[in-house]
Structure 1
């Protein structure tokens, strides 16, 4: 199934989506028809310029949601929180889909509404995601940061086209789970959810505030799609270091442009992002898969285990051996 829409002032996703699938919305809650799957979509509003939409369902067939560019609503900032064991695919142009989340299946995308996007939700998967839409003015008032860095200035400013990517850490995952599980029949539930959503945004912007100040460059849909593709290319094989020249050729960008846009979008240089992902995978293999230190080092392409131990300790504060004992 394909659902395509263009946002406009006053646009309400749940209303248009319900109309498309012949469902009924009651009290901002829509249950999926049994022919489509099982689950629901819920909207929680905190005023006309700030709302949360929760999606939680399992589909019988793939669902593709297409958002067309909408300069009329470019003052709205969209925060897309995704947490699942399945990969979600997203693209920003007409090229092949790329995984939204890989290795770490808990992620956040922030974007403006002037970027065309397409997201595919796979059938027979437990889909669990939330979308926060907030006007830039309201967001700026909520944050009330005296000296924001360039990233936060861009997000809360005007006339920018951007895509930012962040990981959804454990604290944020737990908070998101608590938001979804709130009993909305309680008279104070809306107020409670608003507080928790603001707490979630606080955790996100606390991470974004740590990014280095850089000169911002607007991106288009084609750039956004290529950056997500490059990100997944980097972490697809963590045993092999990325080669900037090869990635630049794949993305049809100059090396300078690729390095600048990658750091702007993901908050780190390509090589540093690769090394951090490498250590995160090492921690996962040690803790969840119960692999030995030497086995993990070999799987991640280290010929020198002492070098692996130094990098791991730098990121986690303990050696891989001690980490495996306490895991």
Structure 2
């Protein structure tokens, strides 16, 4: 009888390198203290991880799954750790623009939060992960007044989502690019992790990130993460609240309430915001025309995309494209 149970990867927040060594042994892979490689019938996994200070880890991974797989993060009550998980999926070239499952975004949570992340069949996922004990963060930034530190020091379970904006995405892509350069990547991983922390601090101080108002049950959080990933899979299809609520066994009012508690926006506003951010990525990283991008993302026409884009970013798609062309020249 065929096994339909998903494979489960269990996170070890305090000592992730021990978990990588164990995974290599179980899955006939290799781990040399910095790089993990596993290639089998379940998945292809390539991961680079560095350990700094007392307990700061920065890693970058690429995982292509052949079978359903879950990453399980269980509450860790002994020590207080923070995890920043930044995901992006797919590519933006003319011939490789399929996004089977959208993990794009910044997921911030502490070691007491139960969290399950699904890697569906035939998905290709990139993650940059920064994890550290609160004591390490207190050594890096001693200012007691800012909001990010107050959030980090909260020991009750919490989860925070933030969209992958151009600034932080550029740091992650630099880590991705340098990952093949063995002589430089250790220093670049560390410096870009610090840049990301500084950017998150600034965004929270200007209220671009909001501290969660309430805890959410792990099963409800799991549903909201799945809804988000599936909803952003195809930007040409407007989310149908009735269909989503029925699929997940909840009323539309509960769906809206839970979704807004996690993502701070109603479902449709969240979808439209990410659609514009996706347009920004395509303009920046692909050679497709603006008309092609508007069509691929389901805008009614280029004018519709341009008006919405300028209203959100403060400049037009054509201005962004011309600015990038001037920089490259």
TM-score by length of 1: 0.69
2:36 aligns with 30
Greater shift in the superposed pair: 39-48 or 305-314: 305-314
Shift of the 47–298 alpha-carbon distance from structure 1 to 2, 3 Å rule, reads closer
2:202 is equivalent to residue 206 of structure 1: yes
Whole-angstrom distance in 2 between the partners of 1:13 and 1:275? 38
Q: Structure 2: 5+ residue runs without aligned partners?
A: 1-5, 92-98
Shift of 1:223: 1.6
Whole-angstrom distance in 2 between the partners of 1:316 and 1:122? 35
Shift of 1:218: 0.8
1:94 aligns with none
Q: Pick the aligned partner of 1:219 from 216, 221, 224.
A: 216
Q: Is the 8 A contact 1:9 1:72 kept in 2?
A: no
Alignment of 1:1-327 (within 5 A): 2-5=7-10, 7=12, 10=15, 12-32=18-38, 40-56=46-62, 61-62=66-67, 64-67=69-72, 69-72=74-77, 75-85=80-90, 102=102, 106-113=104-111, 114-120=113-119, 122=121, 127-149=125-147, 153-167=150-164, 169=166, 170-178=169-177, 180-184=179-183, 190-191=186-187, 193-209=189-205, 210-211=207-208, 213=210, 216-232=213-229, 234-235=231-232, 238=235, 258-259=255-256, 261-283=258-280, 288-290=287-289, 292=291, 296=295, 299-301=298-300, 309-319=306-316
TM-score by length of 2: 0.69
Whole-angstrom distance in 2 between the partners of 1:290 and 1:316? 19
Q: Secondary structure at the match of 1:32?
A: strand
Shift of 1:45: 0.7
Q: Is the 8 A contact 2:54 2:136 kept in 1?
A: no
Q: Secondary structure at the match of 2:77?
A: helix
Shift of 1:206: 3.4
**How many residues are paired up?**
305
RMSD of aligned Cα (Å): 4.3
Q: Is the 8 A contact 1:39 1:57 kept in 2?
A: yes
